Amino acid sequence: MNRPIRLCHLSDIEDGDARGFDPHQQGHDSLFVIRQHRQVIGYRNACPHKGYEGTSMAWRKDRFLNKAHSRVICAAHGAQFDINSGECLLGPCPGQSLDRLPLLVNEQGDVYLLPADSEK
């Protein structure tokens, strides 16, 4: 992937909630985006739980957060992750973190997935 991929408009994600995306047409949501006002945070939809690496985390389409929308939660074994750092706070993967993806919101509010090497 060499070019930014438009995922959606900011308004397509409810403030404080998350949404899954399949930007590479893989037939499943390979990443998810959390919206906090005008800020977006993206992670690969792949749990770091040892032995279950890569497990899709949503318990239902676009359901990546706990009830209070304060943590990311993995539906498989209930691991909980800090929304901002992706660090596992509770559950079976202490010391591990979600894989953060680089995103950009332009002035018009369009949300883009940036090429992976733009992180560096």
Which residues of the shown chain bind ligand FES in the complex (CB under 6 A)?
A: 47, 49, 52, 55, 74, 76-77, 79, 91-92
Using the minimum distance from each CB to ligand FES, give the nearer residue, 10 or 30: 30
Using the minimum distance from each CB to ligand FES, give the nearer residue, 55 or 97: 55
Number of Cα atoms under 13 Å in the Cβ half of residue 32: 25
What end-to-end distance do the CA atoms of the chain give, in Å? 15
User: Minimum distance between the CB of residue 103 and ligand FES, rounded to whole angstroms?
Assistant: 22
Residue with tokens 């390979």: 30
Which are the contacts of 77, defined by CB distance < 8 A and separation ≥ 6? 49, 52, 91, 92
User: Minimum distance between the CB of residue 99 and ligand FES, rounded to whole angstroms?
Assistant: 13
User: Minimum distance between the CB of residue 82 and ligand FES, rounded to whole angstroms?
Assistant: 15
Using the minimum distance from each CB to ligand FES, give the nearer residue, 76 or 103: 76
Residue with tokens 């369009």: 110
